[in-house]
Structures are given as C-alpha cells and as structure tokens.
Structure 1
Amino acid sequence: MNAYLYGLLMLALQRFYKGKKHLDKLQWKTNLSVSDHCKARVMNTLSTICGIMNPGYYIAMVNLECLTNCNGKNISNHICEECYYYKQLKEFVEFAMNQYN
C-alpha cells in the first residue's frame, strides 16, 4: 500500500518518473489485483480526511495526460501501459475533488 500511495503522490506532484517507478513495484503489468487492492485501501483511508485537494494535482493530471499516447488495451488484455498512470492519478484527483466539496 505504501508504494501505491507514494507513487500516486509523486504523480500528483509532477514527479512522474519517480511515481511510475513506485507504482511499477506493484507488478500491475502482470496482475492488476494488487494495485486495485492498494487503491481501495488508500481511498478508504483518505475518505476520512477532508480538504485533501490541491490545485496542483489537477495540473499534474493534465500534464500527465499530455504525455499519454494511449492505443487502447495491450494484447494481453490488461490496461494500456501508456495510460495506467494517468488513470490512477485521474481517479485520485476526482476522489480528492469530491472530498473537498
């Protein structure tokens, strides 16, 4: 769970290389279940905290999207390697925006 949260925060702070490196520790390219489990636990924990949204998180999401050259799903029917990181950050930003309101 620590690698997921740290990786997510690094993406949110536009430290994309470092964030991707930590998310890759979850072996998501071969099995999404660990990543999904960590995401659920992190979001559950953060749901008790109000006001976690920072405008910089949205900017990071937009900048990361610009770096994404998605071609859909890869041949092994897992999430596209190009957009995995963007989708993780997008879910976090949407979650944080909902917590802010």
Structure 2
Amino acid sequence: MIRIIATFTVRPDAVAEFTAAARQLVEASRAESGNISYELLRARDDAATLTFLEAWADDDAIETHNASAHFTTIIPQLLALSTGAPAIVQYEPT
C-alpha cells in the first residue's frame, strides 16, 4: 500500500470554492479501482490549509488516478485557487 499526503495552501478568498471542487475529486477518486481511502482534511488552526490523505494499492493505481478525467480536470482548478504548488509526499510501510 502507498499513502500520499498532499497539502495545499489555499487563497483565503477561495477556500469554499476549493473545498467544493476537492469534494468532487474525493468522491470520484474513492470509486476508482485500487483506491483504499481518500480524504480531505482542513487544518484546525488554519482554514486555508487543506490536505488530501490517500491510500492506494500500488503504483499502477496511482498512475491510473493521475491520468483520470476527474484528476486532470479538477487538479488544475485547485492549483489556480492555491497560493503555490502543493507539498506532496508518498509513503510506504517499512
């Protein structure tokens, strides 16, 4: 299993719009084969910091996800609402 933590810093005026689009991404991603879990979280001390916590079966599942219509459509929207590039880290069990 591979876990991904992707943290976005969102423009303060765009948090509601980002969250609405991100929820669409979460719903579509959860339906993908190879997806184990997909969540959107908001930092308790900063409403403009939003993080996706993802778990995938393998690299093939991640590649398929990254090429999906919902990912390639929604991620550019999320980036446009953010203050910069997200911090993305992949993890695997030791």
TM-score (norm 1): 0.31
Q: Which has the higher helix share?
A: 1
Q: Which has the higher strand share?
A: 2
Instruction: Name which structure has the greater RCO, CA cutoff 8 Å, separation 6+.
Output: 2
TM-score (norm 2): 0.33
